[in-house]
A and B are shown apart, each in its own frame.
Chain A
Amino acid sequence: EPEVTQTPSHQVTQMGQEVILRCVPISNHLYFYWYRQILGQKVEFLVSFYNNEISEKSEIFDDQFSVERPDGSNFTLKIRSTKLEDSAMYFCASTQGGAGQPQHFGDGTRLSIL
Chain B
Amino acid sequence: RKEVEQDPGPFNVPEGATVAFNCTYSNSASQSFFWYRQDCRKEPKLLMSVYSSGNEDGRFTAQLNRASQYISLLIRDSKLSDSATYLCVGTKAAGNKLTFGGGTRVLVKP
- A residues lining the B interface (CB < 8 Å): 30-31, 33, 35, 41-45, 48, 50, 55-56, 58, 89, 91, 93, 95, 97-108, 110
- B44 nearest CB neighbor, chain A only: A105
Which residues of B sit under 8 angstroms from A91, Cβ to Cβ?
43-44
- B residues lining the A interface (CB < 8 Å): 32, 34, 41-46, 49, 87, 93-103
Which residues of B sit under 8 angstroms from A50, Cβ to Cβ?
95
Which residues of B sit under 8 angstroms from A43, Cβ to Cβ?
44, 87, 98, 100
- B93 nearest CB neighbor, chain A only: A99
Q: What is the predominant secondary structure among interface residues of chain B facing chain A? A: loop
Q: Contacting B97 at CB < 8 Å: which of A30, A33, A97, A105?
A: A33
Cβ contact within 8 Å between A48 and B101:
no
Q: Could you pull out 22 A-B pairs where Cβ atoms are within 8 angstroms?
A: A30-B95, A31-B95, A43-B100, A45-B97, A45-B98, A48-B95, A50-B95, A91-B43, A91-B44, A93-B98, A97-B95, A99-B94, A100-B32, A100-B49, A100-B94, A101-B94, A102-B34, A102-B46, A103-B98, A104-B46, A105-B43, A108-B42
